[in-house]
Amino acid sequence: MLSYGLAFLCHFLLFAEYSLAAPTRLTKARRPEGGKTLALRTRRTYGSRHQKRQLEEGLANDNNIEYNIAVTVGTPNPGTQGQEFLLQLDTGSSDTWLMSVAACEDAIANTPGGCPGGGFDPSLSATFVSLSEGDFEVEYFDNSKASGDWFADIMTLEDGSTLTAVQIGLAQTAVNMNEGLMGVGFRSNEFGDTKYPNIIDDLVDQDLITTPMYSLWLDDLQSSEGTILFGGTDDSKYFDDLYYTPILTNANGVYKEFMVNLDGVGVSGTSVSSDFQTPALLDSGTSLTYLPTTIYTEVLKALPFQPDKSGNIKCDVPTGTVDFVFGTKTISVPFDELAITQSDQTCLFGLVDGGSSGDTTLGDTFLRSAYVVYNLDLLDPEGPQIGIAQSKFS
């Protein structure tokens, strides 16, 4: 498990590469009538006019640091059980990979927290296919990295839906990482020069969902789990209408990351920014929210409390919100959703100075207060978009 400092998986972002675009407002969810939907880990079922079938399943909240999805990989040989794993769900990357048994044993011996997601043993799967040895490699901005081999196998989601021939990385070595990861971003954001169908592509290609899209609902800070819904939206989980805004392309015109325009920041309904617009990354793989130094400083001035030099605050915070503006939609994050418990009296403040370069990453401390729809459909006439609304907490 990464510490809050190391959990900032920035994925080699160069925010200056992204041009600003005018937001677009749509009045309904962009999902074809009758399209398939798929969700993970059944907890409760909600009705919605946006989908014919919806299986509400969830993401396990791991100490407010990350959100994990449970999968089973491989086909058990006679006399063995399927290999189950917890993978960090990451909207900021696009590769799916597992720890090997050897890498897991090393993590158990040398890493606080051990290897909570488990290690994959190819010999226990009757459907394991080796694709290449030594070609898998990922490295993140915080210097955490993993390397090893590529393989293909069956992956079963918790509701029993099965994907065949899924390409997966198998980490033989890992540095500052002790569990695997499921990246649910654009194929263009995969590590390596050779691109391949990733999890989102597989869900569409194997007819489990109709459209390459999903909705993320993390619920509040105290909740033990949230949900991801592949292929649809659930209007019982957000207030008012979804506001859709274009995903920004990089300097080469490529849709690579979930970067959108952030048009303003405020505190308890009062703006602290003027003539402000900056690209912002929506990243479930980042625990905290990072704002440019200039904006972060203005937010601090407007707060009725102040973090200390270590970023800690008293847990008993007053009522109020930090507000994030996207076009005509404002997402308000309550102060108590930004107070992450460290001890009985001390909490970590969920906003961080992102530096003078102006980097803005909206991590889990923001995403818990937002219902976010990630539309990756390159064939959509409107182009890939992010839909966003104020989350309804359970």
- What amino acid positions are annotated as catalytic residues? 90, 283
For CA atoms 331, 336, 342, 348, give the dihedral sign: positive
Three-state secondary-structure class, residue 14 = coil
- CA–CA separation, 273 and 197 (whole Å): 41
CA of residue 291 relative to chain centroid, distance: 18
User: d(Cα 97, Cα 125) in Å, to the nearest integer?
Assistant: 16
Q: Which residues contact 307 (CB under 8 A, 6 or more apart)?
A: 300, 313, 349
> Hey, what's the torsion of the CAs at 28, 218, 380, 244, to 10 degrees?
50
CB atoms within 10 A of CB 365: 26
Which residue has 């904006």 as its token pair?
295
328 near 261, Cβ under 8 Å? no
Tokens of 97: 């990979």
